[in-house]
Chains A and B, each alone.
Chain A
Amino acid sequence: MSQARTLATARRVLLQLRHDPRTVALMLLVPCVLETLLRLIYAHHRAAFDQAGAPLLAFFPLTTVFLVTSIALLRERVTGTLERLLTSPLGRLELLLGYALSFGLLAAVQAIVVCALTLGPLGLRVQGPVALLVILAVCVALLGIGLGLLASAFARTEFQVVQFFPLIILPQLLLCGLLVARERMPSVLHAISDALPLSYAVDGMHQLSRQVGAGGAVSADIAIVLAFAVGALVLGAATLRRQTD
């Protein structure tokens, strides 16, 4: 593992983003627009906003980050830069870590912006520590990066890669406990939801919005989400084939 090559890759991805300010603006704005919309939908149901606002604080960034990273890596495959990189000393994990670092930085900014808006002007009420909420949101974004990079390894075209969004992300939304509490699902579905990372993110967000001093349980949820993110990255590196047809 070379730190220099990983950092050079992260720097390169950030430079690409700098030349594409519209994408950066969209990534920062879209979750803010959606949280604002949520607040307006629940204009007369303040408690309902408090309940849904925090979990969606994790979900909205997950979606934008997943799409952007999966397409970014796919573009490397389509344009041939990936093939060139795979013939260079850059390792596959170094490449993916470079992506995780650069998009992770952007995701952290995104999480801070959307949390500041939601907790401030939109007035979301949470009982637990705000810092943990931001950290959890950043970890979910890292998960989105990991899943996006992993999904990209199985896609050859843009059409294929966008299909992974409804396949990988939307079932997690249905099963994460946002629509129906996980304990009240049929046992098979409950068991499946136990294996999905978004469930832990939403559990953590629920804890933070309801309970004071939920630090311990939330920290465990954060650790699980982070473990899934790292697992997806490592799996992504393992499934990234050097040799193609």
Chain B
Amino acid sequence: MTGRPGPSRDDAVRFEQVTVERGGRAVLHDVDTSFAAGRVTGLFGPSGSGKSTLIRAIAGVQLRVRGAVTVLGERPGSMAVRRELGYMTQSPSVYEDLTVAENVRYFAAIRGGEIGDVLERVQLSSHANQLVRNLSGGQRARVSLAAALVGRPRLLLLDEPTVGLDPLLRRDLWRLFGELAAEGSALLVSSHVLDEARHCDEVILLRDGRIVAQLSPAELSVRTGTEDLDEAFIRLIEPR
């Protein structure tokens, strides 16, 4: 594996020999990785490669995690972590029978924070008083994202936040993730669209529950000799 971070880095999240079993088979195998605050870390891999399981292990909601997971210096799921964590699940997990603003206000209230400019940031302020059940899939995904962003958490786990969105909105959201990292948060953003790796400071490539590589998008291009990130990923996982 390349790009193993040195011990000097101040890690937001660190995995040491982490294995996760689901339904009798391992979906993560001996995963060693870490990522730092202040950067956007992309988590890429095909569907079923273990991305959501890895994210759930950090969030502290995954059963049967063996090995050591350290989150902001604490145990996953501890109160100290939960105060600092914004988690966006893969399918939009918001209340369909509440308006956009009511949803965000509730998640702000249980985190002890304010709504602030979160609706502007996900471009939903004009839909604030609409019921979520009347929104499109892409809009619901952004309500779910807004619910993760309220209260300015130090660690953001975003499971496929850009899936199903139009290119313009995807670009704007990746820009927003960059801003949040610049403000000091640690971001782990998963996607199965390799092309989006260019927006990340660092990418973790996952396949069949194993980390294939962890490196910057530029290093990925150099190592595989192609600018096409989809092609680069194929060359990495299918070495000739």
Is B198 located at the chain interface by the 8 A CB criterion?
A: no
Q: Tell whether A16 pairs with B110 under 8 Å between CB atoms, given A87-B82, A89-B79, A245-B23.
A: no
Q: Across the interface, do B94 and A243 meet the contact criterion of CB distance under 8 Å?
A: no
Write the nearest CB–CB distance from A227 to chain B, whole angstroms: 29
A244 contact set on B, CB distance < 8 A: 61-63
Is A5 located at the chain interface by the 8 A CB criterion?
A: yes
Write the nearest CB–CB distance from A95 to chain B, whole angstroms: 9
B92 contact set on A, CB distance < 8 A: 80
Write the nearest CB–CB distance from A243 to chain B, whole angstroms: 4
A19 contact set on B, CB distance < 8 A: 97-98, 131
Give complex CA distance A122, B79 in Å.
53
Q: Across the interface, do A15 and B98 meet the contact criterion of CB distance under 8 Å?
A: yes
Give complex CA distance A236, B64 in Å.
22
A4 contact set on B, CB distance < 8 A: 109, 112
Is A12 located at the chain interface by the 8 A CB criterion?
A: yes
A15 contact set on B, CB distance < 8 A: 98, 102
Q: Across the interface, do B106 and A12 meet the contact criterion of CB distance under 8 Å?
A: yes
A16 in complex: contacting residue of B91, B98, B111, CB < 8 Å: B98
Chain B, interface size category, equals 20 to 34
Q: Across the interface, do A8 and B110 meet the contact criterion of CB distance under 8 Å?
A: yes
B35 contact set on A, CB distance < 8 A: none
B98 contact set on A, CB distance < 8 A: 12, 15-16, 19
A85 contact set on B, CB distance < 8 A: 110
Write the nearest CB–CB distance from B73 to chain A, whole angstroms: 17
Q: Across the interface, do A5 and B93 meet the contact criterion of CB distance under 8 Å?
A: no
Write the nearest CB–CB distance from A63 to chain B, whole angstroms: 23
Is A157 located at the chain interface by the 8 A CB criterion?
A: no
Q: Across the interface, do A12 and B97 meet the contact criterion of CB distance under 8 Å?
A: no
A9 contact set on B, CB distance < 8 A: 106, 110
Is B95 located at the chain interface by the 8 A CB criterion?
A: yes
Is B44 located at the chain interface by the 8 A CB criterion?
A: no
Is B138 located at the chain interface by the 8 A CB criterion?
A: no
B82 in complex: contacting residue of A79, A88, A243, CB < 8 Å: A88
Write the nearest CB–CB distance from B83 to chain A, whole angstroms: 5
Give complex CA distance A233, B110 in Å.
20
Q: Across the interface, do B95 and A16 meet the contact criterion of CB distance under 8 Å?
A: yes
A46 contact set on B, CB distance < 8 A: none
Give complex CA distance A241, B91 in Å.
20
Number of A positions contacting B (CB below 8 A): 26
Q: Across the interface, do A12 and B83 meet the contact criterion of CB distance under 8 Å?
A: no
Q: Tell whether A81 pairs with B93 under 8 Å between CB atoms, given A88-B111, A243-B61.
A: yes
Is B107 located at the chain interface by the 8 A CB criterion?
A: yes
Give complex CA distance A15, B96 in Å.
12
A90 contact set on B, CB distance < 8 A: 110
Task: Identify which of residues 74-132 in chain A touch chain B, using a CB-to-CB cut-off of 8 Å.
Answer: 79-81, 83-90
Q: Across the interface, do B64 and A245 meet the contact criterion of CB distance under 8 Å?
A: yes
Give complex CA distance A5, B94 in Å.
17
B112 contact set on A, CB distance < 8 A: 4-5, 89
Task: Provide the A1-41 mask, 1 if CB < 8 A to any CB of B, else 0.
Answer: 00011001101100110011000000000000000000000
Q: Across the interface, do B93 and A80 meet the contact criterion of CB distance under 8 Å?
A: yes
A45 contact set on B, CB distance < 8 A: none
Is B162 located at the chain interface by the 8 A CB criterion?
A: no
Is A44 located at the chain interface by the 8 A CB criterion?
A: no
Q: Across the interface, do A16 and B97 meet the contact criterion of CB distance under 8 Å?
A: yes
Give complex CA distance A81, B148 in Å.
11
A16 contact set on B, CB distance < 8 A: 95, 97-98
Q: Tell whether A89 pairs with B110 under 8 Å between CB atoms, given A83-B61, A243-B62, A245-B64.
A: yes
Taking Cβ atoms with an 8 Å cutoff, the residues of B that contact A are 22-23, 59-64, 77, 79, 82-83, 85, 87, 89, 91-98, 102, 106-107, 109-112, 131, 147-148
Known: A4-B109, A15-B102, A81-B93. 11 other contacts (CB 8 A): A4-B112, A5-B112, A19-B97, A19-B98, A19-B131, A84-B107, A88-B107, A88-B110, A89-B79, A243-B63, A243-B77
3 closest A-B pairs by beta carbon, nearest first, are A80-B93, A8-B109, A12-B106
A–B pairs, 30, beta carbons within 8 Å: A5-B109, A9-B106, A11-B106, A12-B102, A16-B97, A19-B97, A20-B97, A79-B91, A79-B95, A80-B92, A80-B93, A81-B94, A83-B59, A83-B89, A83-B93, A84-B87, A84-B107, A86-B61, A87-B77, A87-B87, A89-B110, A241-B63, A242-B60, A242-B77, A243-B60, A243-B62, A243-B77, A244-B62, A244-B63, A245-B64
